Amino acid sequence: MDTQPAQAAMPQPDEITREVVDLMANLVALFHREYEEAAAARSLTGAQAKVLALLRRGPLPMRQIAQTLSCEPSNITGIVDRLEARGFVTREADRHDRRVKLVAATGTGSAASEELRESLNFAREPLASLGPEERTVLRDLLRRMLAGASGPGA
């Protein structure tokens, strides 16, 4: 990539990094608030919405949900319990390994999740300040950042 000899143009690389981190923190806070709000508007909690979102691509075993969300499996049990009680998901034993329970979104569940996703006007406000090509630049930067980091589930 780019060897960094002495660098006269860049006064304090750390300064920029630090500011980016701070900005990111604010953005994260903003995003979080919006997400919780949007979920609450459908009487879902953030955690429930996250699980439901994970199931968009198909049924998943409990354990995998837990891993993707970086929490204990026993935690997922409760969340899925509540989602199931409200008809948003179903639990079904895996045919090949009966220890495994596959969690699948019901029609209602997917609908709610999709609706929430659409309603996430989070970035509409913040992103509205950026022009189309700027969004593209932002997208590429974010892509590279995430590619560099440990690939999350999603």
Partner DNA sequence: ATGAAAGGTTCATCTTGTCAACTTTTCAGG
Partner DNA sequence: CCTGAAAAGTTGACAAGATGAACCTTTCAT
Write out the residues near DNA by the rule CB under 7 A: 45-48, 61-64, 66, 69-82, 91, 97-102
In angstroms, the CA 132 to CA 117 distance is 21
Alpha helices (H) in 42-131, listed in sequence order: 46-54, 62-68, 73-85, 107-119, 124-128
Given the complex with DNA, which of 101 and 113 has the nearer CB atom? Answer: 101
**Binds 78: which of its own copies, DNA, none (CB < 5-8 Å by kind):** DNA
In angstroms, the CA 146 to CA 124 distance is 21
Nearest-Å Rg of the Cα atoms of the chain is: 20
Q: Residue 143 CB, nearest distance to its own copies (Å)?
A: 6
Residue selected from 70, 72, 85, 95 as contacting its own copies according to rule CB under 8 A:
70
CA 151 to chain centre: 12
Interaction site with its own copies (CB under 8 A): 1-2, 4, 7, 9-10, 13, 16-17, 19-33, 70, 120, 122-132, 134-139, 141-150, 152, 154
